[in-house]
Structure 1
């Protein structure tokens, strides 16, 4: 019985950092969504990784890319955080977004840790399975 309790304590101890990590990642993504909703592209750009910032160079360029290429991110109606998973050494947060027309979109956010915070390093659209009639 004592070994079982030790094992339970060990598993809970491992889960706590992951839960905190997941909460921090969701907070970063959520803050960027809030910035987009407010058309605050300077703030939204601040959540992008240095590599993404180098690619787009300015918040204005970044904002144009999002409004033109990812309108569901610019004006989401509903956001749901799904699984956080590791793939080839990278952490990916799956997010379900409902756009203004009621369409569902799945996105994977690649997250990288920088000092004491998380940055968004990539966003990929996930193809949804086709519904059978």
Structure 2
């Protein structure tokens, strides 16, 4: 398992990659999480698929949805890519996020290949573990 660090707005975020660091699906997810942590919401919104962008309309609505449904995406201290399954043009990536108090959440990201770029097409909460873990809404 390799590990690399991406600088966050407040502190580094540790990302454990189970596959090569060049994995484009993992890179898109990592980049969106980093943009959220850096409060660059316009950039974070751009990693969403056109279908998500049409439904949510703008980055203000997007960040409101993230804060309400997936707040750990903005505060995660560690990101681990657990499992990927691909059936072009779709891919599913299981990601485990850990917070400051040791709580962890698992999510399934649905990705879609549009042209030569992967985009996030949906996120489904799977499970939570740890101290004071709260279920994402």
What is the TM-score normalised by the length of structure 2?
0.73
Residues 112 and 43 (structure 1 numbering): CA distance in 2 closer, same or farther, change over 3 Å? Answer: same
Give the secondary structure class of the aligned counterpart of 1:34: helix
| Gapped regions of structure 1 (runs ≥ 5) | 1-18
Q: Distance in 1 between matches of 2:90 and 2:24?
A: 16
Q: Distance in 1 between matches of 2:128 and 2:45?
A: 27
Which residue of the partner structure matches residue 61 of structure 1? 61
Question: Does 2:56 match 1:70?
Answer: no
What is the TM-score normalised by the length of structure 1?
0.75
Q: Tell me by how many angstroms 1:65 deviates.
A: 0.5
The answer to whether the Cα contact below 8 Å between 1:41 and 1:59 also exists between their aligned partners in 2 is yes
Give the secondary structure class of the aligned counterpart of 2:119: strand
Q: Deviating runs (4+, > 6 A) in structure 1? A: none
Q: Tell me by how many angstroms 1:90 deviates.
A: 3.7
Give the secondary structure class of the aligned counterpart of 2:32: helix
Which residue of the partner structure matches residue 25 of structure 2? 25
Q: Tell me by how many angstroms 1:67 deviates.
A: 1.2
| Gapped regions of structure 2 (runs ≥ 5) | 1-18, 130-137
Q: Tell me by how many angstroms 1:86 deviates.
A: 4.2
**What pairs with 1:1-133 in structure 2 (closer than 5 Å)?**
23-86=23-86, 90-128=90-128
Give the secondary structure class of the aligned counterpart of 2:39: coil
Between structure 1 and structure 2, the one with the greater Rg is 1
Structure with the higher helix share, 1 or 2: 1
- CA deviations 1:29-71 (Å, max 9, x no partner) are 0000110001111000000000100111010000011012101
Q: Distance in 2 between matches of 1:128 and 1:58?
A: 29
